[in-house]
Amino acid sequence: MKNFVLCLVATALMCLVEAAPQRAEEPIAIISQESNIEPDGSYNYAYETANGIKAEETGTLKKATSPDSSDVIIARGSVSYTSPEGNLITLNYSADDENGFQPQGDHLPTPPPIPPAIQKALDYLLSLPPAKRR
């Protein structure tokens, strides 16, 4: 029974040590920040932090073109930061109701090229009339 109580006390002390607040890093200062929201829903914002993170985005209202669609916000922006390896990473993007989210950046992976034989087969299939494609 004595050993059980000692194990229980030791376990409780270990839990308290693990649950203690860890040393927090200093907060990163915001060098600049601006934000503007218009009554129609369009907006823009930008900020820059002391550790080199920069971001900006603009959202514009696109009015509905037909009665069965609704107004949408089209967003364009960019964000940049320094990777752990020391490289500057820049991501430019746009998002709208027609093409969705479209990111662009040198750091993003790209698909390998389609082998010529496969491309030839795909081109042939696309040249067939729709009824014969099945």
Lowest mean pLDDT among 20-29, 68-77, 83-92: 20-29
Cα(12)–Cα(69) distance, integer angstroms: 60
AA letter at 125: L
- Tell me what the mean pLDDT of segment 7-21 comes to: 65
pLDDT > 70: what percent of the chain? 81
Q: Which residue has the higher pLDDT, 1 or 62?
A: 62
Q: Residue 126 falls within a domain, yes or no?
A: no
Q: Residue 2 falls within a domain, yes or no?
A: no
Which range marks the domain in which residue 56 is found? 29-102
Q: Residue 67 falls within a domain, yes or no?
A: yes
Structurally, the chain folds into a number of domains equal to: 1
Q: Residue 75 falls within a domain, yes or no?
A: yes
Q: Is the pLDDT of residue 51 over 60?
A: yes
94-128, pLDDT tens digit by residue? 998 888 899 999 999 988 999 999 999 999 999 98
**DSSP symbols for 78-124:** EEEEE-TTS-EEEEEEEEETTTEEEEE-TTS--PPPPPHHHHHHHHH
Q: Residue 24 falls within a domain, yes or no?
A: no
- pLDDT of 3 reads 63
Tell me the whole-structure pTM to 2 decimals: 0.64
Q: Residue 109 falls within a domain, yes or no?
A: no
Q: Residue 55 falls within a domain, yes or no?
A: yes
Cα(64)–Cα(94) distance, integer angstroms: 19
Find the helix or strand (DSSP H, E) in which 134 lies: none
Q: Tell me what the pLDDT averaged over the chain comes to.
A: 86
- pLDDT of 15 reads 61
Q: Residue 130 falls within a domain, yes or no?
A: no
